[in-house]
A and B are shown apart, each in its own frame.
Chain A
């Protein structure tokens, strides 16, 4: 597709359930990022993938959160045993690194997660 695609756009789940959020980056973009945005707040970094390098997982808030990127393209963010404080919009972005620099980030429309 032309832009970053995220699914589902909206997810309501019960506390304790696992959820998977998917991100399809812009074709050819080598870097992929996950951020979390709580209501009225800024963007909290979660994880960053770059090519075949080991991902930077320094922003994952707990071991209930994990992410993978298959074939250098699609990424899945998994939250196990969801808690109410996990409720937020999860944003995915991709970029094409130019000359080693990060390049412009392009964001998807986000996945809104509500944990009841």
Chain B
């Protein structure tokens, strides 16, 4: 099955800094999504981004499915951005559904 690799595994930022998180897939991918898991364990869907670029406030994401990667940009980071960021997708570019496979996550800590 598809393998998902996220980098970096850990990241410490000073408040106000920008960062880029990366997600690589071992095979063609579809239904790519980014999630944030807050320190209390709740998972929030940030983006559903099978291709192209989307922006939501200080966050934006870009997926290049043909090259099997996605990027999550966080600008002007805040302490509330702390937590673990996961990407996930389904295997196969033409796969229209099915199980979503998750990466191991990037743990972000934003210091005041």
Contact = CB atoms under 8 A, between A and B. Distances in A.
B99 A91 contact: no
Interface residues of A, number: 27
Interface in A73-100: 89, 91, 93, 97, 99-100
A43 interface: yes
Interface of B is mostly: strand
A53 B83 CA distance: 35
Contacts of B20: none
A42 B105 contact: yes
Interface residues of B, number: 24
Interface stretch (A17-25, A61-69, A104-112): A104-112
Nearest to B4: A42
Given A45-B99, A102-B90, A104-B45, 4 more contacts: A42-B104, A97-B97, A102-B31, A109-B42
Across the A-B interface, the 8 shortest Cβ-Cβ residue pairs: A102-B31, A107-B43, A100-B96, A43-B102, A42-B104, A104-B48, A48-B99, A104-B45
